[in-house]
Amino acid sequence: MRGKQAPKRKIKPDTKFNNVNIAKFINYIMERGKKTVAEKIVYGSFEIISQKTKNDPLEIFEKAIKNVTPFVEVKGRRVGGANYQVPMLVKGTRKFQLASRWIIEAAKNRKGVPMKEKLALELIDASNEEGAAIKKKEDVQRMAEANKAFAHFARY
């Protein structure tokens, strides 16, 4: 690794809920620097969640993230001319990052409705432990379980 590692930036909490995780989630959704569009998508999906479930959207968001958060993942390691998929524990902030990425990806892959509705449906599904994001988490854990024999190649 050349040079110094970039310093971690402090992210300000979002304006509506005063929550840092929602601010990060908005930043993950944002494309081409259009933050207001990303905020409209997230806040609109929270309104849809509160209408459909009659529950607090913050609780559903937190529960969805908690359900999708992975504990292990596989990383490719090159050892002696062969590539191995080595299972590794997921550390700290990467858990939230992966969970958010999988939820957003699953929402984007739904068809036929606006993004705020797709995101709302995916968050509701994830909080109920179903949907494409949960399937992705289970697939990653299954891969790690299948490659447990190569765990000794991991360097923590």
State how far the alpha carbon of 62 is from the alpha carbons of 17, 20, 25, 99, in Å: 13, 12, 11, 11
Q: d(Cα 105, Cα 29) in Å, to the nearest integer?
A: 10
CA atoms within 13 A on the CB side of 154: 18
Confidence label for 156 from pLDDT (cuts 50, 70 and 90)? low
- Beta-bridge mates of residue 84: 77
pLDDT number for residue 150: 79
Backbone angles phi, psi at 149, to 5 degrees: -65, -20
pLDDT number for residue 144: 87
Q: What is the DSSP string of 17-67?
A: T--HHHHHHHHHH--TT-HHHHHHHHHHHHHHHHHHH-S-HHHHHHHHHHH
Tens digits of residue pLDDT in 86-120: 888 898 889 999 999 999 999 999 999 999 999 99
Tens digits of residue pLDDT in 67-93: 999 999 888 888 888 888 888 889 888
Chain-centroid distance, C-alpha 85: 21
* Residue ranges of domains in the chain, CATH in brackets: 20-153 (1.10.455.10)
Token match 């040079």: residue? 3
Tens digits of residue pLDDT in 16-46: 999 999 999 999 999 999 999 999 999 999 9
Tens digits of residue pLDDT in 135-151: 999 999 998 888 878 77
pLDDT, averaged across the chain: 91
Q: d(Cα 63, Cα 106) in Å, to the nearest integer?
A: 16
